[in-house]
């Protein structure tokens, strides 16, 4: 397994907005102080995750199929994209 890709969630959106991962190998997780517990909502339902606290346990997603996975954050207009390569 490759190192985790972490996305920091701020009131203005995710940082970074575009995350790169390797299919079936790289886990991606979201964290943020003011928005912890909010859902990460993928347009295709490809992943189910919540924003973790900065020091809490982080659970993320491993994407099995290459492609672009746009998402938004519950309660925010801003979103991001996970780009998965083979």
3-state secondary structure of 18: strand
Containing structural domain, residue 76: 5-85
Kindly report the CATH number assigned to the domain that includes residue 46: 2.60.40.420
Report the 10 Å Cβ neighbour count for 66: 13
- Give me 9's structure tokens: 């969630």
For the stretch 10-45, pLDDT in tens is 999 999 999 999 999 999 999 998 889 999 999 888
Share of the chain above pLDDT 70, in %: 98
Total domain count, the chain: 1
Helix or strand (DSSP H, E) at 80: strand 79-85
Q: What is the pLDDT, as a whole number, of residue 1? A: 60
């Amino acid at each position: 397994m490759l190192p985790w890709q972490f996305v920091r969630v701020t009131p203005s959106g995710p940082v970074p907005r575009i995350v790169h991962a390797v299919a079936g190998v790289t886990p991606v997780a979201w964290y943020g102080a003011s928005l912890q517990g909010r859902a990460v909502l993928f347009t295709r339902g490809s992943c189910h995750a919540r924003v973790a606290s900065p020091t809490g346990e982080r659970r993320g997603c491993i994407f099995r199929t290459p492609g672009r996975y746009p998402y938004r954050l519950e309660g925010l207009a801003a979103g991001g994209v996970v780009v998965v390569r083979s």
